[in-house]
Amino acid sequence: MLTLTPETKTLSPFPFLYNPMIRTQNPNPKILISLQKKNFSPPRTTPHCKSHYQNERGVEFDTGGTFFRHESATGRDLGVLAAALYKQKKGQLRVIDAMCGCGVRSLRYLVEANADFVLANDANEEYRGVIVKNLAKIDKGFGDGRRWIVSHFDANSVMTECYLQKDFFDFVDVDSFGSNSSFLRSAFGAIKMDGLLYITSTDGFSSGGHRPYQSLAAYGAYVRPMPYSNEVGLRMLIGGAVREASVLGFHVTPLFSYYSYHGPVFRVMLRVNWGKLTDNRHYGFITYCHQCGNSQTFSWDELSLISCPCSNAKKFMHDRKSLLNIVANFQGLRSVVVSGPLWTGPLHNATYITEVLHLAELWGWVGNGIGTDLEKLLRLMIDESDPKLLCGYIKLDEVASRAKVNSPPLRTMMNTMHKEGYAASRSHIVSNAIKTNCTMTECIRIAKDLQR
């Protein structure tokens, strides 16, 4: 229970939320006692279901009858590498796996990232037998000094309980179905400062711009169809976290963002710290003009200037009454669509990804012809981190169709762009697309020149 002294009452209704000392001090594992009191029943047998053994990076586990997707292995690899890096740097690692399924992530955080403690939670009690069976391989699963516990609460309840017990975690993994926005607040409540938050969304409809009111409700972003909707999905997820963090007095920094075609799944690793974002230049609007194919980004301050140079319907917005009014007016331009507010800054931190790559090399996960997909992905992420690159990507098919030429080879196109002084990188999302600061108009000109 919260005990409020008269002083803290006047300062804030949540004294420990805003007390940096409490948020950075050593862990206080009260959550163990609290959960045990509430619902920590002894492992019960699950309804009989066939064992189904899997192996990821040499770690064996049973998926039983739980929800498990083999295709999410790369997302799990990235999470484990980030957790292990954290442990190396900070010397400790306590993890909440808020939606653990069969417990594969919890197991991998314990085995591969050497986590000190993992709280493995899944709302579905029927998964208990499988989760416990998987984690029982770890020493110190039971008794004093235990390294893991299993619980079956709604993820929001378990993370809120951590917050109420002032038991903050280094690494919070929320691997949800659909949109994860309803878990963001409690996840921020449970995390230590400078801790890592790994979030997921499988809401491809909202990022595709097909449900703008749903994306508005979930992430505060009115998203319209754009040719690079999957990157928009990542930017929507980060933008939603930026906003929610800001409400609570925190700010987040994206360390890497990963889109996977299987699902589709959008994953983002965020570092959480104190203080509101003072620099909001990375939180704004993206426009795409169907007429000329050009994209632009606009900050909040520039909202009234949104227009497309090609558009004969050039319109300067002076109506600042409401975001919806502005965006709705823009849909009236027909050729120009506006989405936002979203994260418009870098999707990854190149220094961080380089560290991840080195660790993956050290573990033998990449290099020597092994794990080439992961290596390719990490190298693409490093390239995509160039701050000069604009939001979105340009698909070569679209360039070819607008230029009325054959699709130019990607490597040749990028080399020419580099020679002309543009920044250009491949995208980890689409194989035949280029991220660049070159406009579509210039891309068309280059494609035509190459054809001659």
Ligand X SMILES: C[S@@+](CC[C@H](N)C(=O)[O-])C[C@H]1O[C@@H](n2cnc3c(N)ncnc32)[C@H](O)[C@@H]1O
Q: Tell me how crowded residue 254 is: count the other CB atoms within 10 A of its CB.
A: 24
Rounded-to-integer distance, Cα 283 and Cα 224, Å: 17
Q: Is the dihedral of CA 150, 152, 156, 157 positive or negative?
A: negative
Q: Mark residue 91 as left, alpha or beta (left: phi above 0; alpha: psi -120 to 50; beta: remaining).
A: left
Least separation, in Å, of the C-beta of 175 and ligand X? 4
Among 99, 286, 347, 438, binds ligand X (CB under 6 A): 99
- Contact between 180 and ligand X by CB under 6 A: the answer reads no
- Contact between 437 and ligand X by CB under 6 A: the answer reads no
Q: Tell me how crowded residue 50 is: count the other CB atoms within 10 A of its CB.
A: 8
- Contact between 73 and ligand X by CB under 6 A: the answer reads no
Among 105, 108, 147, 348, binds ligand X (CB under 6 A): 105
Least separation, in Å, of the C-beta of 108 and ligand X? 9
Site string for ligand X, 25-64 (x = CB under 6 A): ----------------------------------------
Rounded-to-integer distance, Cα 117 and Cα 130, Å: 19
Half-sphere exposure of 157 (CA within 13 A, CB side): 11
- Contact between 175 and ligand X by CB under 6 A: the answer reads yes
- Contact between 76 and ligand X by CB under 6 A: the answer reads yes
Among 155, 184, 337, 446, binds ligand X (CB under 6 A): 155
Closer to ligand X by Cβ: residue 75 or 345: 75
Residue 173's SS3 state is strand
- Contact between 115 and ligand X by CB under 6 A: the answer reads no
Beta strands in 17-137, from DSSP E residues, in sequence order:
53-56, 59-62, 94-97, 117-121
- Contact between 444 and ligand X by CB under 6 A: the answer reads no
Tell me which H or E stretch contains 342. strand 336-343
Size of the site for ligand X (CB under 6 A): 18
Exposed, middle or buried, 335 (CB in 10 Å: 0-12/13-18/19+)?
Answer: middle
Closer to ligand X by Cβ: residue 105 or 147: 105
Closer to ligand X by Cβ: residue 202 or 427: 202
Least separation, in Å, of the C-beta of 34 and ligand X? 17
Site string for ligand X, 123-142 (x = CB under 6 A): xx------------------
- Contact between 190 and ligand X by CB under 6 A: the answer reads no
Least separation, in Å, of the C-beta of 271 and ligand X? 21
Q: How far apart are the first and last CA of the chain?
A: 74
In sequence order, which ranges of 91-154 are alpha helices (DSSP H)?
104-111, 128-135
Among 154, 194, 375, 442, binds ligand X (CB under 6 A): 154
Half-sphere exposure of 105 (CA within 13 A, CB side): 34
Site string for ligand X, 369-388 (x = CB under 6 A): --------------------
Site string for ligand X, 324-353 (x = CB under 6 A): ------------------------------
Closer to ligand X by Cβ: residue 191 or 323: 191
Tokens found for residue 56: 């990821």
- Contact between 104 and ligand X by CB under 6 A: the answer reads yes
Beta strands in 179-294, from DSSP E residues, in sequence order:
191-201, 250-260, 265-274, 283-289
Amino acid at 267: R
Upstream peptide bond of 341 is cis (omega within 30 degrees of 0): yes
- Spell out the residues 6+ positions from residue 274 whose beta carbon is closer than 8 angstroms to its own: 20, 23, 193, 249, 250, 251
Amino acid at 402: R
Degrees, nearest 5: CA angle 287-289-423: 70
- Contact between 14 and ligand X by CB under 6 A: the answer reads no
- Contact between 68 and ligand X by CB under 6 A: the answer reads yes
- Contact between 161 and ligand X by CB under 6 A: the answer reads no
Scanning 16-24, 54-62, 65-73, 268-276 for contacts with ligand X by CB under 6 A, the matching segment is 65-73
- Contact between 74 and ligand X by CB under 6 A: the answer reads no
Degrees, nearest 5: CA angle 280-286-289: 155
Scanning 27-35, 94-102, 285-293, 393-401 for contacts with ligand X by CB under 6 A, the matching segment is 94-102
* Phi, psi dihedral angles at 188 (to 5 degrees): -65, -35
Least separation, in Å, of the C-beta of 169 and ligand X? 16
Closer to ligand X by Cβ: residue 62 or 383: 62
Among 64, 101, 208, 284, binds ligand X (CB under 6 A): 101
Residue listed under structure tokens 């280094």: 170
Residues that bind ligand X (CB under 6 A): 66-68, 72, 76, 99-101, 104-105, 121-124, 154-155, 175, 177
